[in-house]
Amino acid sequence: MRVDIISIFPEYFAPLDVSLMGKARERGILDIRLHQLRDWTHDVHKTVDDTPYGGGPGMVMKPEIWGEAIDAVVAAALAERGVPGEPRMIVPTPSGRPFTQEVALEYAEEPWLLFAPARYEGIDSRVMAEYGSRLRVDEVGIGDYVLAGGEAAVLVMIEAVARLLPGVLGNARSVTDDSFAPGVMANLLEGPVYTKPPVWRGHEVPEVLLSGHHGKIARWRRDEALRRTLEKRPELASRLDPATLDAYDRKV
């Protein structure tokens, strides 16, 4: 997967050089390119923003700069061998489509993502109108809390998408076991996990996990996941298949 990110803070994406993302890049599973938006400015101050039409607080990012940057990044990528078609453009915005595991799965199918994380009050809306007629452009938000810009949202989305790509997680971990993955674990939170020693500061590992009885262990894990989901995220539990809830050995 090819990923282009245009930002005034490309250094914000240093975390993509480490851990899972770093290994995926080394193995060629992910090809992430960072671009400094200010490289497409034409004034000595490298200005990327201006006051909003109609007044109001804050500043708005200038359409000309973004237009030149997006055109140049897309053209350069297309000039390289092996970059397919046109990118899916993703613009983080506070009011955007909520980013969920379902959206991550959708993006993981894309060969090319172009992220446009902005700052200030956002990008002049004509940029989305311009590219919306040529590309698939999504305005996406992560969670109901206030960020200072779109870069953190891009980091979250790239990690959530990249870990779904074949070969990124390795054999030890399967995305089908994820808390929010479709299928059996859909809408179930993960249960508690334990490792050696069997007793730590007087806290014992649940006996069933030491029993070697795989059927009982699987049932215990599912019951714990259900218990946690009912306790912490009842709105998720309400989406569970009734048969799953009926099978839950509530032991209460």
Ligand X SMILES: N#Cc1c(N)n[nH]c1-c1ccc2c(Cl)cn(Cc3cccnc3)c2c1
Catalytic, 178? Answer yes
Contacts of ligand X in 125-144 (CB under 6 A): 141-143
From the list 13-21, 146-154, 183-191, 196-204, the region that binds ligand X by CB under 6 A is 146-154
Decide if residue 147 touches ligand X (CB under 6 A): yes
For residue 197, is the peptide bond before it cis, meaning its omega torsion is within 30 degrees of 0? yes
In angstroms, rounded to a whole number, what is the distance separating the alpha carbons of residues 68 and 234? 47
Minimum CB separation of residue 33 from ligand X in Å reads: 20
Residue nearest to ligand X (CB): 118
Told to judge if 64 belongs to the known catalytic residues of this protein, a careful annotator would answer no
Rounded to whole angstroms, how far apart are CA atoms 69 and 117? Answer: 13
Annotated catalytic residue 39: no
Give the Cα separation of 67 and 37 in Å (integer): 10
Residue 43 parent element (H or E): none
Should residue 149 be labelled a site residue for ligand X when binding is judged by CB under 6 A? yes
148 binds ligand X (CB under 6 A): yes
Which residue is catalytic, options 86, 121, 130, 223? 121
56 interacts with ligand X by CB under 6 A: no
Q: How many residues bind ligand X (CB under 6 A)?
A: 17
Task: In whole angstroms, give the CA distance from residue 56 to residue 48.
Answer: 18
Q: Is 7 among the residues that bind ligand X (CB under 6 A)?
A: no
178 vs 99, 106, 110, 135, 167, CA distance in Å?
A: 16, 16, 21, 31, 16
Residues binding ligand X (CB under 6 A): 92-94, 118-119, 121-122, 141-143, 145-150, 153
